Amino acid sequence: MTTDAPTRGAPAGAPSGTRRAGPVALRSTPLLLALWTLFVWVGRMRNLVQEPGPLLDAGRWSLAASVLFTVLGLTLLAGLAARGLGSDGSPLARASAAVTVALAGLSVVVWLVRGVDIALGDHSAAFVAVHLVLAAVSISLAGLAVLAVRARAAGRLAS
């Protein structure tokens, strides 16, 4: 017996065999964005501190950006641990969502600018490849995290 009903997990009115993007995977992307951000930018701070010589102007800006990303990543982790991105409208849920969107937006802007700068700069192919992978993962997680926030706000994603 065949049925034309949508596949389980598909949006109402979706054609047979249609599936919605995995809500469990989407739900975890703000957490993954926070962890990835900490991995990348704490590593950058470690590299800056280990570089020989004093922090020059460019190094100071890089350190400031690293600290900002680290603070946003830690803030998001704390918010997710305390409350999550629930759609209940609580102040902590709204704050977690706002931090997610801010971190995602900043990640996209910084990595688009830095990615072009690194790709066109005088760097080895390996250095460029590593940084373009960091950029691609950061931008992808940022986009998915914003989708998760929007889905949660619309009530399409369980807390």
pLDDT averaged over every residue in the chain: 83
Contacts of 99 (CB under 8 A, 6+ apart): 72, 75, 76, 79
Query: Is 13 inside any structural domain?
Result: no
pLDDT at 8: 45
Q: Is residue 16 part of a domain?
A: no
User: What pLDDT, on a 0 to 100 scale, did the predictor assign at position 76?
Assistant: 95
Q: For residues 133 and 136, what is the distance between their CA atoms, to the nearest angstrom? A: 5
On whether residue 33 sits in a domain, the answer given is yes
Residue matched to tokens 């641990």: 81
**Res. 88: pLDDT tops 70:** no
Q: Which helix (H) or strand (E) holds 93?
A: helix 91-120
Q: Is residue 109, in this structure, part of any structural domain at all?
A: yes
Quickly list DSSP for 45-78: HHHHHHSSS---HHHHHHHHHHHHHHHHHHHHHH
* 72-95 exposure pattern, b = at least 16 Cβ within 10 A, e = fewer: bbebbbebbeebbbbbeeeebbbb
Tokens of 151: 């889905």
Residue 2 confidence (pLDDT) above 60: no
pLDDT band at 41 (very low <50, low <70, confident <90, very high): very high
The total number of structural domains in the chain stands at 1
DSSP string, 99-113: HHHHHHHHHHHHHHH
Domain assignment of residue 97, yes or no: yes
Is the residue at 159 inside a domain? Answer: no
Is residue 12 in some structural domain?
no
What is the domain range of residue 52?
24-153
Tell me: the pLDDT tens digits for 141-150? 999 999 999 9
What amino acid is encoded at 31 in this protein? L
Top pLDDT among 73 and 12 is at 73
How confident is the model at residue 44, as a pLDDT?
Answer: 93
Compare 63 and 133 and report the one with higher pLDDT: 133
CA distance 30 to 32: 5
Query: If you search the block for the tokens 């900002």, which residue do you land on?
Result: 68
7 in any annotated domain? no
* Confidence at residue 130, expressed as pLDDT on a 0 to 100 scale: 97
Q: Is the pLDDT of residue 90 over 90?
A: no
Q: Tell me the CA distances in angstroms from 1 to 5, 19, 81, one per residue in order.
A: 12, 21, 46
pLDDT of residue 58: 66
